[in-house]
Amino acid sequence: MKLSLKQKIFEYGVEPKRRRGQNFLIDENILKKIVSVAGITKKDTVVEIGAGLGFLTNLLSQVAKKVFAIELDKELFEILKKEVSDKKNIICIQDDAREVPLSTFGKKNGSYRVVANIPYNITSQIIQKFLEGTPHPSDMILLIQKEVAERICAQPPDMSILACAVQYFAKPKILFDVSRFCFYPQPNVDSTVLRITVQGIELTGSRVKPGMTKADSAHFFRCIHAGFAQKRKFLISNLQKGLRISRKELERVFGHLGIPLTIRAQELSVDQWKELTYTLVTYL
């Protein structure tokens, strides 16, 4: 008789480690749905982060050209190798995904994809690494905490540093929710499958169309960190204090871009942040 995924965990005697955020997705229908919505083809190289016991890994290997399965936990890694030993297109890596060079997965931007059930405690770090690094993936299909997914996809007037950071590099979209009852051990929150499609950094407006450079990114993130320093204060006051630009100059810039002086950081769209950033560059 075929063992359920939860029975397999018990059979191996695995004790989920809370400090590593180990919550195993044990609903086979959800696993298959993730692979289906990802639209993986035989041309794709896929990176899976936190491969665990290989439940998702095996499904990915059936539709992908190559799968890099990354698992940090030594005990789980040994089980993973056993579970996928008959699959020639799976490369198992025992390491922290935050430390593996992105060049391991491809030589140019968009040459690989990421599909993963990411531990909640490193979600932001993983997203940052793959979006800001080179070569970056074409997209990321991530199973993450529902609240975090909603924050990433937020629009004005509910923006945050996280939403701005992700939307600067990519277009996020919520695909479907996953109940907490689909995991073992059961977490205290529900989850969401999120697609993050990486895109070039160009404004759609007519005023500024910068290319994506490290300098541009540095200016952008310096501005948003200053802008969100005190969410209850007006944006212009935060920028004046955080960037040390005179109120008079900021009022001139805000007027030029049509930004109200009473606006707060969370009310600005990413495109407006980009325009503001590149207009303020001469002052930084």
What digits encode the pLDDT tens for the residues 22-41?
889 999 999 999 999 999 99
- Compute the distance between CA of residue 189 and CA of residue 182 in angstroms, rounded to an integer: 11
150 and 9 part of one domain: yes
84 and 116 part of one domain: yes
Mean predicted lDDT score pLDDT of the chain: 91
- The CATH number that applies at residue 93 is 3.40.50.150
Pairing of strands 113-117, 45-49: parallel
Is the residue at 43 inside a domain? yes
169 and 34 part of one domain: yes
- Alpha helix locations (H) across the chain? 5-11, 28-38, 55-63, 74-83, 123-132, 146-152, 161-169, 214-227, 235-243, 247-257, 270-280
What pLDDT, on a 0 to 100 scale, did the predictor assign at position 52? 93
State how many domains the chain has.
Answer: 2
The 8-class DSSP code of residue 104 comes to: G
Residue where one domain finishes, among candidates 150, 167, 198: 198
Is the residue at 204 inside a domain? no
Residue where one domain finishes, among candidates 198, 224, 239: 198
Residue where one domain finishes, among candidates 147, 165, 198: 198
Is the residue at 206 inside a domain? no
223 and 175 part of one domain: no
Quote the Cα angle for 35-36-37, to 5°: 95
- Cβ–Cβ < 8 Å for 118, 152: no
Task: Please report how many Cα atoms fall inside a 13 Å half-sphere around the Cα of residue 78, on the Cβ side.
Answer: 5
39 and 117 part of one domain: yes
Is the residue at 203 inside a domain? no
229 and 155 part of one domain: no
99 and 230 part of one domain: no
Percent of the chain with pLDDT over 90: 80
224 and 189 part of one domain: no
238 and 192 part of one domain: no
Does the pLDDT value for residue 209 go beyond 60? no
5 is written with which tokens? 């995924």
What pLDDT, on a 0 to 100 scale, did the predictor assign at position 207? 37
pLDDT by residue (tens digit) across 40-67?
A: 999 999 999 999 999 999 999 999 999 9
Domain extent, residue 271, equals 214-283
58 is written with which tokens? 């095996």
- Compute the distance between CA of residue 152 and CA of residue 58 in angstroms, rounded to an integer: 29
**Reduced to 3 states, what is the DSSP secondary structure of residue 2?**
coil
Which pTM was predicted? 0.90
**Top-confidence residue, 137 or 201:** 137
